[in-house]
Amino acid sequence: MPVLSTRITSINGGGSDGWDVFNRARAMIAAGIDVTELTIGEHDIRTDPAILNAMHASALNGHTGYAAVPGTNALRDAVATRLTRQTGVATNRDNVLITPGGQAALFAAHVAACSAGDTALFVDPFYATYPGSIRAAGAIPQAITTRARDRFLPQRDALALAAIGAASLLINTPNNPTGTVYPRETLDDIATVVRDHDLWLISDEVYDTQVWDGSHISPRALPRMAERTLVIGSMSKSHAMTGSRLGWIVAPEAVITPLIDLATNTTYGVPGYIQDAALFALEQGSTLEEAVAAPFRRRRMLAQQILGAQSVVGQIPSQGAMYVMLDIRATALSGESFANALLDTHHIAVMPGESFGASAAGHVRVALTVADDALAQALGTLCEFAAERATAR
C-alpha cells in the first residue's frame, strides 16, 4: 500500500483521542449492561416533530437536488438576522456560509485563517476535536493552559504570550467542557490581544442558547472585532438537531467568498430539505430553543444542589451549556482513573477531564443528558464513590 499523507495520519496527534471511557461505556451497553451514560453532548430528546414535518414537506416538494453551495438565500438571511440581533452588528447573507454542522465550520474556519504550518491557538480545556480539526486544516495546534481556580478562563498574560507569531485563536463560550460563560472582561482581554497581534478570532458559539447565568456575548459585537472574527454556529445543540448536520460561519464577506470556494470543492453544500427544516426552526423564534434548553437548566440546578450538600467533589460554577465540570482532586485519582473506576464499579460513565486537555486533569465532565432522577442518582453515587476514595487515601 502507498504511504498515507502525514496530514491524515497525524490528525490525532499520536496519543489517545480521549474517547476511551466513552468507547468502553458503549461496549458495555452493547453487551447488555445498564450504564448511566453521562459522556457525550447528545440530548435525551429528539428533534421536534414540527421541524421534521418541515423537512419532510420540503423533500416532498422536490428540494432534493443540489442546493445552493453557500446555503439557501432564505436560511443565510435567517442566520444573518439572528447574528444582527445578537451582536448589533449589521450582518447580511454575504456574511454567512451554511456548513454541514459546526464541526465542518471549525475545520473550514481554520483553513481560511491559517496557512500550512501556521500556529493556531486554542484554550485548554477544549472540545475534544479542536486540535484534530486544526491539524486536519494543515495548521499546528497550540494550547493556552488555564487553571481551575480561574474557572478555566484564559488570562490576558498567557494569551499575549501565546499570540506572538500565531495566526488564529479559537475560543468557545458558553464552554464545553467547563460550562463557563466568558464574562465581558475576558472577552475584552481576548479582543485586545487578537487586535494587537493581528490574529483571526474563531469564536465557537454553538451553545449560545444555553445560558443559565449572565448572558452570552459574541466577540463579533466588540469594537473592531467583526473584521477579524469568524463565528461558528450550529442547530445541533440549540434545536436538538445533532444528526441533521447544519451549522454556519458568520464572518466578513472577504472571508466568506473564498470559503464558498472551499465548500464547492469539498462538501458541495448542505441538503436543501435540511436547510428548509433549519429555516423553519429559526423562524419559530426562541420557543423551540427554550424548550430544548429547559431540561439542562433544571438539571444544572439539581446538580448544584446535590454537589452543594457534600464537600469532597468540587464544582466549577456552571453558567451554560449542557455540562458540569467536577473537581475530584480530593480523591488523588486522575480524572481518567476516576472515570474508569466509576464505570467499572457503578456503571456510570463520565468523561475524564484529561480528555479535554491537561488543564482539566483531576476533573471529570458530566453531561446533563439523562432524566432528572437518573442524574440525581448517578451524581449521588459519584459523590459517595469520591468520598470513599478520598478517605481511603
Rg (CA), the chain: 21
Q: Which of residues 162-201 bind ligand PMP (CB under 6 A)?
A: 172, 176
C-alpha cell at 217: 456575548
From residue 226 to residue 245, the character string flagging contacts with ligand PMP as x (rule: CB under 6 A) and all else as - is --------x-x-----x---
Site for ligand PMP, residues 273 to 332, rule: CB under 6 A: none
The 344-383 contact track toward ligand PMP, x by CB under 6 A, reads ----------------------------------------
Binding residues for ligand PMP, rule CB under 6 A, total 13
Which residue's CB atom is positioned nearest to ligand PMP?
Answer: 102
The contacts of residue 322 (CB under 8 Å, 6+ apart) are: 41, 43, 207, 210, 237, 296, 367, 368, 369
| C-beta of 103 vs 186, nearer to ligand PMP | 103
229-234 and 140-144: which strand pairing?
unpaired
Of 256, 282, 281, the residue nearest 93 (C-alpha): 256
Q: Is 247 in the site for ligand PMP (CB under 6 A)?
A: yes
Candidates 76-84, 101-109, 287-295, 296-304 — which segment interacts with ligand PMP by CB under 6 A? 101-109
CA gap 93, 75 in Å, rounded: 8
C-alpha to C-alpha distance for 259 and 257, rounded to whole angstroms: 5
Amino acid identity of residue 12, one-letter, is N
The alpha carbon of residue 383 and the mean position of all alpha carbons in its chain are separated, in whole angstroms, by: 26
Site for ligand PMP in 22-51 (CB under 6 A): 41
Q: Which three cell numbers stand for residue 228?
A: 477579524
Place of cell 451554511: 98
Single out the residue of 192, 130, 186, 193 nearest to residue 153, CA to CA: 186
What is the per-residue binding string for ligand PMP in 123-162, x denoting contact by CB under 6 A?
----x-----------------------------------
Stretch that binds ligand PMP, among 44-52, 97-105, 300-308, 371-379 (CB under 6 A): 97-105
Which one of 100-108, 222-230, 291-299, 354-362 is the stretch in contact with ligand PMP (CB under 6 A)? 100-108
Q: Which residues are near ligand PMP by CB under 6 A?
A: 41, 101-103, 127, 172, 176, 204, 206, 234, 236, 242, 247
